[in-house]
């Protein structure tokens, strides 16, 4: 296993998105007067959500009129290459959740970031892991409350965005992407679109359409396989995904050249819908940090991680929000 250059991140962000139009839902009703004159100005969808304590995350309404206490909790992991496989990966954790909460927990396989966010916004999703790039949109438009993230025993976490190519492509520098085809994953992805787009423009003066042709693969594994099979000249990927595919033997590592590696970004953030009953949210929080990681299926699937650590959206996602601002300084969830 190649060691990832993971460093603890100490800064965080302020959001914008390209997919807000996909998440429109019917009206946002007020609950009493709790949102009037008390909410911190920010990116939360108003008046649907309110942030009174300045942590950039929606607050639970104090009157309890929106609190949820479902008999069955729905859990979804960020869209991956094989949702059926990941149902089995998460089985042990979901059984642990059931013991800690006293409720049935069901795995919900999602096919896209937009579908995952919409499910939480509509109240059909209660616990989730959102990928790095879509998490701010989930916070602001769906009322997601981040709680935890996978990390190593020393507290380090995260991944790097890499620009990759096949070793026989003839491309040896980022500048040589000019006139070529570069694969992104999707517009909501941090490492698969937003970070590389900002980087290519600011550091290399390269723009999609003008200097290179952009393609969209849908997922990081598709991008890696596309580069390996010569469908794309190059791709922007998260090395936390490509390292796993290398280690599984799906692509020979020595056939891929890394043209650029970014600084470290936070990885998938796990959390809950903002309006769960306080006792239920606490039980879910406790389940993340009491899960017996060693020897679990999650341990085998994510061998670089040693468990979950607490996270702060305000702190850990600052750099991602700053990247988002490059694309759209202000936005609407409608």
- Two tokens at 115? 């579908």
Kind and range of the H or E run holding 201: helix 195-204
Q: State the Cα–Cα distance between residues 221 and 232, nearest whole angstrom.
A: 13
User: What is the model's pLDDT at position 81?
Assistant: 65
User: What is the model's pLDDT at position 12?
Assistant: 28
User: Which residues in the chain come in under a pLDDT of 70?
Assistant: 1-37, 81-84, 328-332, 334
Residue 150 pairs with which residues in a beta bridge?
Answer: 308
- Two tokens at 168? 């026989």
The sign one gets for the Cα dihedral 170, 172, 174, 176 is negative
User: What is the model's pLDDT at position 217?
Assistant: 96
All domains of the chain in start order, with CATH: 20-155+266-327 (3.40.190.10), 160-264 (3.40.190.10)
Residue 72: phi and psi, rounded to 5, are -120, 125
Whether the CB-CB separation of 113 and 79 falls below 8 Å is answered with yes
Residue 223: phi and psi, rounded to 5, are -65, -45
User: What is the model's pLDDT at position 37?
Assistant: 57
* pTM, rounded to two decimals: 0.74
- Two tokens at 73? 């909790």
Over the stretch 135-163, which tens digit does the pLDDT of each residue have?
Answer: 999 999 999 999 999 999 999 998 899 99
């Amino acid at each position: 296993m190649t060691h990832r250059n993971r460093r603890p991140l100490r800064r965080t962000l302020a959001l914008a998105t390209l997919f807000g139009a996909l998440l429109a839902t019917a009206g946002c009703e007020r609950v009493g007067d709790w949102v009037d004159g008390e909410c911190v100005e920010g990116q939360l969808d108003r008046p649907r959500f309110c942030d009174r304590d300045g942590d950039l995350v929606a607050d639970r309404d104090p009157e309890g009129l929106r609190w949820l206490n479902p008999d069955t909790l729905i859990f979804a992991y960020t869209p991956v290459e094989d949702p059926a496989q990941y149902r089995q990966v998460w089985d042990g954790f979901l059984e642990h959740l059931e013991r800690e909460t006293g409720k049935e927990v069901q795995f919900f396989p999602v096919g896209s970031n937009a579908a995952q966010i919409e499910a939480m916004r509509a109240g059909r999703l209660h616990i989730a892991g959102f990928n790095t790039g879509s998490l701010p949109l989930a916070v602001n438009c769906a009322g997601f409350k981040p709680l935890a993230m996978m990390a190593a025993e020393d507290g380090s976490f995260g991944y790097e965005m890499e620009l990759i190519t096949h070793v026989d492509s003839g491309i040896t520098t980022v500048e040589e992407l000019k006139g070529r085809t570069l694969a992104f994953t999707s517009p909501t992805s941090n490492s698969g679109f937003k970070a590389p787009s900002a980087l290519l423009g600011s550091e290399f003066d390269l723009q999609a359409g003008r200097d290179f042709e952009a393609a969209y693969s849908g997922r990081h594994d598709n991008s890696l396989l596309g580069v390996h099979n010569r469908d794309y000249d190059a791709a922007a990927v998260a090395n936390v995904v490509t390292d796993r595919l290398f280690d599984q033997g799906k692509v020979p590592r020595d056939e891929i050249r890394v043209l650029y590696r970014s600084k470290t970004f936070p990885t998938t953030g796990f959390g809950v819908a903002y309006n769960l009953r306080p006792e239920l949210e606490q039980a879910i929080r406790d389940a993340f940090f009491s899960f017996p990681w060693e020897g679990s299926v999650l341990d085998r699937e994510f061998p670089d991680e040693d468990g979950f650590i607490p996270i702060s959206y305000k702190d850990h996602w600052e750099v991602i929000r700053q990247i988002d601002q490059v694309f759209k300084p202000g936005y609407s969830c409608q």
